Structure 1
């Protein structure tokens, strides 16, 4: 994983927020430099261009996920369902905690033009499918998971559910259990609610137990 200095990370986080709020084409390098309190030359020195800066944001966010998934697969002390639950907790925490990045990612996936960023997205999605399959298949061979499982649709259910929660937060906030919570309490409540739902869903699909 590429190491970034504190100043580089500051630039990446500012750029991520501005790209999410204003769009990639609506954000200039000057905007980023002003918000990050650096000069334009420093951004060019560190990242080369605005396109490369966006690419660096994606590489930074996605490399952490790649590392976690690899460690999870190699862990031989966890039961298959524990690994699945750990994967769910990880991505609920990550996606709900990185909403600016998820906003950019959603836009880039819908971009019809070929780009290095879009290639990175589909590369990581392919890797995640490739890693989830052996977890599921080994558990199927051991008679732990049900045979008729569509792994691609499992991953779609995971990411689709979490992504749908992001724009629906103001509706979920009105539920009786959440309406009186402060912001920190609500974030914890929402993460737990989404994780619990997905774990029940995955367990039902994988084991036919509810």
Structure 2
């Protein structure tokens, strides 16, 4: 795991926000330096270039996910469905808490040009699939999960549902029943609604219990 000092982390967090708000090409190193209250030379010293800084944003966010999934797979005290539910809650919390990063990630996935960042995204997705597969496979072998489960589609369902719901929250927020709800309460409402829906859906798919 790559370690970042406090100054590097502050630059990474500022860059992440600006890349999300203004786009990668719409953000200059000068913009980042001004927002992070550092000089341009410091950014060059720590990261080398704007491209490498974007890579560092991705590596910083992805490392925590990699660590969590590894620990989850190796946990022998949890039942398979508990692990799946834990994974669901992890990614709901992650995407709600790191919306700037996921804005960049979604944009980069649509980038037709080959780039180190896009390679990092697919590297992480392959790892996640490779780590989730044993959870499902072991449960299938034990007769706990249905043997016809498509793990690739399962992961696509997880990310697709969350990625659709989070941007749509601003439309939902305009409904009259939520107009007096503060932002924290609405965020908790959305978190719980997503969690309940996905857990019911995954349980039905994995166990055929509707």
TM range (shorter): over 0.9
Q: TM-score, normalised by structure 1?
A: 0.97
Note the residue ranges of structure 1 that are not aligned, 5 or more in a row: none
TM-score (norm 2): 0.97
Q: In the alignment, what sits opposite 1:79?
A: 79
Match of 2:153 in 1: 153
Sort the Cα spacing of 1:177 and 1:195 in 2 relative to 1 into closer, same or farther, 3 A.
Answer: farther
Structure 2 gap segments, 5+ residues each:
none
**What number of residue pairs does the alignment pair up?**
210
Q: CA deviation at 1:176?
A: 6.1
Partner SS for 2:167: coil
- Give the whole-Å Cα distance in 2 for the aligned partners of 1:172 and 1:84: 27
Q: Residue in 1 aligned with 2:191?
A: 191
Show the counterpart of 1:66: 66
**Range that drifts further, 180-189 or 97-106:** 180-189
Deviations along 1:134-188, whole A, 9 cap, x unmatched? Answer: 1001001111111111110000000000100122012222456543321111111
Determine if contact 1:178/1:189 at 8 Å carries over to the other structure. no
4+ residue stretches of structure 1 with deviation over 3 A? 174-179
Evaluate the alpha carbon distance shift between residue 69 and residue 60 of structure 1 in structure 2; reply closer, same or farther with a 3 A threshold: same
The DSSP-based 3-state class of the residue aligned with 1:78 is coil
C-alpha RMSD over aligned residues: 1.1
Tell me the distance in 2 between the aligned counterparts of 1:156 and 1:83: 17
Q: Is the contact made by 1:92 and 1:162 (CA closer than 8 Å) also made in structure 2?
A: yes
